[in-house]
Structure 1
Amino acid sequence: MLITTITSQKKRKDRVNIFVDGTYAFALDLDLMVKHRLRVGQTLSDIEVKALVKESELAKWYNQCLNLISLRPRSKQELGDYLTRHEVGELTQKTVLNQLTAKNWLNDEKFAEWFVEQRLTFRPKGSRALQMELKQKGISTDIIQEVLTKHLDETTQIGLARQIVAKKLTFWQKLPPLKLRLKLQNLLLRRGFSYAVINRVLEAETAATSDLT
């Protein structure tokens, strides 16, 4: 099998098309071409071609996943789902994810830390909601418990719930007391706060309101 032509891809200048015996055979990352010193006129065996195609496929999806991680941290399940949607084979998926994990680009514990910090900063939620969201991302129960215990004790949750209540009171303060309490309770439940936290926050709010009347 003779390499007859090597051309750069139009959309991706970091990849080249390899033609064997006058026919397109496979695409390859430019750095892999340099690594293997491929050139026009070089003869390849069928085994060598298959090995190059496999290595190119791994490099392609590794770099694709790395690009996603560069935008924001990802969980292992998120990247696995991404590869599955693109019909990447199971063995290739496993190899890519293992390589990313080995280089610490993929770390579910770090992802969970980042995810919880983002939620607490931009859209506060209770531990129940965060636990459910992290499970949907494929995070293990042990990691979820460790991260939530670290970042979301009861005192922190009460503070977050009070912030949410304070914002809503601006719009709901003229509602009858029972209706107001019900709306606030349902809001906090939807945000994933426990009944214990909700009751403490609403009781404190009721007491504060009573002091003003």
Structure 2
Amino acid sequence: MPEITGAKERRNRVRISVDGEFWAELDAAVARERGLREGAAFSCEELEEARVAGERPLAMGRALNLLGYRARSEGEVRERLGRYGYASGTIEVVVARLFELGYLDDEEFARQKAREKAQRYGPRRVSADLLKSGVGREVAAVAVEEEFAGRSELEDARSAVARRYNGVGSEAEARRVYGFLARRGYSAGVCAEVAGEHRGRA
């Protein structure tokens, strides 16, 4: 049966070692309540249950701190809590509670991010950025479709180029226009058409 071989308390937290190896950092009050002290032995199931209970207040604090800076997707919160070393059971409990409290809403997050990004980028780039932010593919697709509904990708691309390039359209500059639009997430057809129009200015 696993044995607690170290329990160092500092600032209302306890760093616990099990069988000679660091195991988890828990809320000190929960650790005391669960009897997690040096020399005590517990089953793996008891330890896992105690870990989730002890990590929960710490992980919740971390998550709320992250969300205090800016809105985040469920995927971002999960990834960050995992990076801090919290157990998967702890992450599940915290994420579920954040949804209950209304702090996590991937659909609203995707709409806001799409609105913000669409001011500078085309649909493909906005979609890629949403996926990178941990939003599900379906949620990202809906947000992008809603944001770009009624807008002309071609006109948006023309406006972006007009703001950036105002010189005579040489062949080399047309290639730069194409690359600029491609990086901004416009479709290949739109990139080619606008680059061709730019070349036609020469």
* TM-score between both structures, scaled by the size of structure 1: 0.67
- Listed as ranges, the matches of 1:44-193 within 5 Å are 46=35, 54-121=52-119, 124-153=120-149, 155-170=151-166, 173-174=167-168, 177-193=170-186
Contact 2:171 2:199 in 1 (8 A): no
Contact 1:112 1:143 in 2 (8 A): yes
Percent identity (aligned): 19
Secondary structure at the counterpart of residue 67 of structure 1: helix
Q: Count the aligned residue pairs.
A: 172
CA gap of 1:69–1:186, structure 2 versus 1, over 3 A, is: same
* TM-score between both structures, scaled by the size of structure 2: 0.70
Question: Alignment RMSD, CA only?
Answer: 3.2
Larger radius of gyration: 1
Which residue of structure 1 lines up, in the alignment, with residue 5 of structure 2?
none
Instruction: List alignment gaps of at least 5 residues for structure 2.
Output: 1-8, 15-25, 37-46
Give the superposition deviation at 1:151: 0.5
d(CA) in 2 for partners of 1:200, 1:144:
27
CA gap of 1:17–1:68, structure 2 versus 1, over 3 A, is: closer
Give the superposition deviation at 1:163: 2.7
Q: Which has the larger displacement, 89-98 or 149-158?
A: 149-158
What whole-Å deviation, never above 9, does each CA across 1:28-85 have from its counterpart, x for those lacking one? 58xx9xxxxxxxxxx96738xx888754421111121111112111111111111111
d(CA) in 2 for partners of 1:52, 1:182:
61
Contact 1:28 1:53 in 2 (8 A): no
Which residue of structure 2 lines up, in the alignment, with residue 3 of structure 1?
none
Task: Letter of the 2:186 partner, please give it.
Answer: F
CA gap of 1:71–1:52, structure 2 versus 1, over 3 A, is: same
